[in-house]
Each structure stands twice: as structure tokens, then as C-alpha cells.
Structure 1
């Protein structure tokens, strides 16, 4: 079974690296909390300065406070969430390096590898553009948004390969290639993602401790999945075939 094969290979890659993976999650958590605290302080200072400068009284005070709560705070929260999601791409990049045999032993460099390895700007452009496209599709209906999210899921891996190999690849091209690569694989990926629901639930009920193992396991499995779909796309492209029941990567072969 595909999911079992992918997870087996992921656990093999993590053998001897579980501590490394847990430390990357710890550093991500520390950076996330620092970012949230800094954002909260910035929001609070902005509110206090506004009140100090305008010196509102009575209804004006409640009006300004209402504007901050109803308009400014959602914008602040939205920004913080997506900054944290982008920081999480560092774990994705680090585990893909692990799967590709390019593991960065320095945990700090691994956690922030999208910056340390000079991939930050192209990572950010690709991530942001795919997010914009996915958001626009989500405005139509929820389901098309999810489908497009699955279609664009390989774009960061593709841009990472391009950067590491020194090849030219724009954010738009990476997203387009991801969409082609995921043709016929979207529901398969959704099933693989859902197979981690139990692990994520256990991580939550253990007060987040389980995330130190679940997230490296999940991201390493997804990195292996990228190798799988890229191998399938390359085979189909070279042979002009629409699909096949046998797929092979450098790590394993499944039917």
C-alpha cells in the first residue's frame, strides 16, 4: 500500500534523526512564540499611541477601540498566522533536505534553512503566490479551494530543487509544474494527509508534546511523497503515458 510504503521509508530516514527533528520543531516553536509576542506588543503599542495622540473621550474612545478590535485586530491576527505558516516552511525544507541526502546537521540552520541557504526570497514568492491563487479559488467555493491547495502542494519542493540544482525556475512556473505533477494524485495526497489525523489528535491531547515527533514524521513522509509523484510525472512525460499502476523512486518501489 502506498501510504504504508511512504511512511516506512520516512521512518527509515528519521532513524537516528528523531532528536534532530524534535529540535527543529522546538526551535520553530520558540521562534513562533517570539513572533507572536512581538506582534502582540506592536499591536498594543499602536493602540496606546493612537489613544494618546487622539485623546478620545466617551463615545470616541469606544469607537476607536471598536475599530481596532473589529478591523485592525483581524488584520494583525491574519498576518501573524501566515507569518507562522511561512516559518513552518523551514521544517518542510529541512526534512526534504534529509530525504534528499542533504541534511543540515546544525539544527538552527536546518530550521531556518529557507533563509540560511539563500532560498528565502524565492521560497516566499512561491509560497505567497500559491497562497494568493488558492485564496482566490476559495472565494468561489470551499471545495475548489481545497482542490487547488492540493494541486499547488508541490511548488515549494519544486522551487527548492531548482535552487539547489542552480536551475532557473520562477514562482509561477513552479506552481504550474506542481499542478501538472499532481494531475491524478490530488485525492491520493488528501488520503495521505488524513492518515495523520490520529497522530495529530494524540499530539493535541498530550499538550503538544507529541508534535515534536508527529511533525517531523509527517513532513518527512510528504517529502518522500514528492519524490514519488515527481518520478511518476517524469515517467509519464518521457513515455507519453497517462498513468501507470507501478511507480518507482530512488528510495522504493510500490504497486
Structure 2
């Protein structure tokens, strides 16, 4: 099985972000501002009221879809180096069915990960890495059902979870830097990390394509 090189993936992500650091910081700011604005209605509602529960539910539905759009911004940079801030709202702009699919996919990933974690911590962590490519699969295949996207991520990540784990370890110093700068460094750390994960997915997809072509040739012979 062909292996991925976390260090090279990180370097490639940095190269693709070379002319987009400002865009990445802007996307972070817009994402955080919109997220905070979405919190305001539930905070202004009477405590423990039905209205507050309803607004909290709406907020919990909107947040994962907005997060999906945030990831989409940097997937586009990794894929084509295009800077499209409108992708931040892609989960809202493609109709209710797509919005619901994005929400349900994220919800199921959360439920499955939680259930595995309730059994034992380690299986929960392993499953988190197995499901990590789900948003990118859904971006490439909007026709997939939530379970199809999740299963595809699991299939692709088989044998590659440790490589993604090593890639994430490379970002711990950057994450600590963000903590010690009171979050300011996250304006650059978050785009860097998400672009690196998107690059990981792109290289993983290429491996899967080569593997599928090899199987096709072997079956024909």
C-alpha cells in the first residue's frame, strides 16, 4: 500500500497557501463573526424557555453547516488555489435538501464517534480519523447520501489513519502558538491545518484512483 508523507503534505499545503494567507485570515474572521452573531438570539431569549430551546436547536443546526463551508473554502485552495469566500455559505446556498444532507452527515459522524468513544477512548479516536475525510467526499459527491460519504471515508482511510495522526501532530506547536497569542495566531493556523488536511485528502484520492485502475487492469487480464 502506498503511503502518504505528512511532512511533504504540510509543505505542499503551505505552498498552496502562499498567496492566500490574507484570504485565510479573512475567512476565519467572517466565520467567527457569523458564528457569534448566530449565538445572539438564543442568548437574548428568556432562560430555560421554549423559545431559548428552539433558538438553541436552530443554532446547533446552523453551526455544522457553516463549518462545512469553512472547510470548503480551503479545500478549493488545495484543489485549484482559488479564493472563494462565498463557499463559506455553500451549505446554505444549494437548497434545503443539500443543507439537510450536510447537517445530517455531520450529526451522524458526531453520533458514531461518540458511541465508539463511550465504549473505549481509543476506538473513538480511531473512528474520528476514519470519518475525517467525510466532508471532502461529500463536496466531491453531493449526490451521495450521508452514510455513503461516511462509508467512503472509512474505506479510504483504512491503512492511512496513522499518517493523518502524524500530520496532526505536526500542528501541535502551531496550536500552542495560537493559545499563547490569545487566539490571534489561529487566523493563520486554522487555514494552514485545514488546507493540509484537504491536501491529505487529494493525495489519498489519487492513491485510490491508481489502485482502482490497477484492479481494473488486473481483472481485464
Structure 1 residue aligned with 2:89: 112
Shift, 1:212, TM fit: 0.6
Q: Which residue of 2 aligns with 1:38?
A: 41
Pairing partner for 2:130 from 151, 160, 169:
151
* Residue 22 (str. 1) matches residue 25 (str. 2): yes
Structure 1: how far apart are the matches of 2:133 and 2:166? 16
| 8 A contact 1:203–1:214 mirrored in 2 | yes
Whether the 8 Å contact between 1:24 and 1:110 is mirrored in structure 2 is no
Instruction: Give the Å deviation of 1:232.
Output: 1.5
Residue 185 of structure 1: how far off its partner (Å):
0.5
In the TM superposition, what whole-angstrom CA distance separates every residue of 1:166-223 from its partner, at most 9, and x where no partner exists? xx31111111111010010011111111211110110111111101100011111110
TM-score scaled by structure 1?
0.73
- The 3 A distance-change label for structure 1 pair 79 and 149 is farther
One of 203, 210, 215 as aligned partner of 2:178: 203
- Structure 2: distance between partners of 1:120 and 1:21: 24
Higher RCO (C-alpha under 8 Å, 6+ residues apart): 2
The alpha-carbon deviation at position 16 of structure 1 amounts to 1.6
Structure 2: gaps (5+ residues)? 216-221
1:218-250 Cα offsets, whole Å, 9 max, x none, are 11111000011111122223324xxxxxxxxxx
Equivalent position of 1:187 in the other structure: 162
Q: Is the 8 Å Cα contact of residues 125 and 171 (structure 1) preserved in structure 2?
A: yes
The 3 A distance-change label for structure 1 pair 15 and 102 is: closer
Deviation at 1:128, TM superposition (A): 1.4
Which shifted more, 216-225 or 118-127?
A: 118-127
User: Which residue number in structure 1 is paired with residue 80 of structure 2?
Assistant: 101
SS of alignment partner, residue 144 of structure 2: coil
**CA–CA distance in structure 1, aligned partners of residues 30 and 91 of structure 2:** 14
How far off is 1:116 after superposition? Answer: 3.1
Q: Distance in 1 between the 2:92 and 2:139 partners?
A: 12
CA distance in 1, matches of 2:119, 2:168: 24
Q: Which residue of structure 1 lines up, in the alignment, with residue 206 of structure 2? A: 231
Question: Residues of 2 paired with 1:204 and 1:149: CA distance?
Answer: 23
Q: TM-score, normalised by structure 2?
A: 0.83
How much has 1:35 moved relative to structure 2?
Answer: 2.5
Q: Deviations over 1:35-59 (max 9, x none)?
A: 23333223xx144799xxxxxxxxx
Change beyond 3 A, Cα 1:13–1:133? same
- The structure having more radius of gyration, on CA atoms, is 1
Structure 2 contact 6–164 (Cα < 8 Å) conserved = no
CA apart distance, 1:30? 0.6
* Aligned pairs, number: 208
In 2: Cα distance, 1:213 partner to 1:125 partner: 29
